[in-house]
Structure 1
């Protein structure tokens, strides 16, 4: 089982790496949902971990986008 990534580790990744990890986690979340629906889920806690890591990645991606947009705006105003 893969542990959730720490926010500092996620912030060090490029936007492409974050997007790839997000796609991977969404695929895992879909599989976990199917397992849950059929009663085959081995670990209920993994569902929560995956959901929270998806939120963490989306938050960091939004923060990165906001930082880049702010830097471009301040450069344009200068």
Structure 2
């Protein structure tokens, strides 16, 4: 249920907002990788969640790009 709400929120965003969200997620992914390397990472499942969120954003960006081209 939570991911469905997140997905609808992402679909409602503009291309610029999606790009900002992607940048934010990539920064978070970097920080999580750094925490894992130093042994400070508490929530290891967050790494997978962020990776999947990045994929969702990229998929929606690609779909919007295809729609605008058609």
What TM-score, normalized by structure 1, do the two folds share?
0.82
Q: Distance in 1 between matches of 2:31 and 2:8?
A: 27
Structure 1 unaligned blocks of 5 or more: 71-78
Task: Compute the displacement of 1:9 (Å).
Answer: 0.9
Distance between the aligned counterparts of 2:32 and 2:7, measured in 1?
23
Mapped partners of 1:27, 1:42: distance in 2? 17
* Residue aligning to 1:15: 15
The residue that corresponds to 1:39 in the other structure is: 39
SS at structure 2 position matched to 1:41: coil
4+ long deviations beyond 2 Å: none
C-alpha distance after superposition, 1:9-65 (max 9, x if no partner): 101000000000100000000000000011110100110110000000000000000
Match of 1:6 in 2: 6
Please provide the CA RMSD for this pair. 1.5
If you compute each CA radius of gyration, which structure gives the higher value, 1 or 2?
1
CA distance in 1, matches of 2:27, 2:45: 17
How many residue pairs end up in the alignment? Answer: 68
5+ long unaligned stretches in structure 2: none
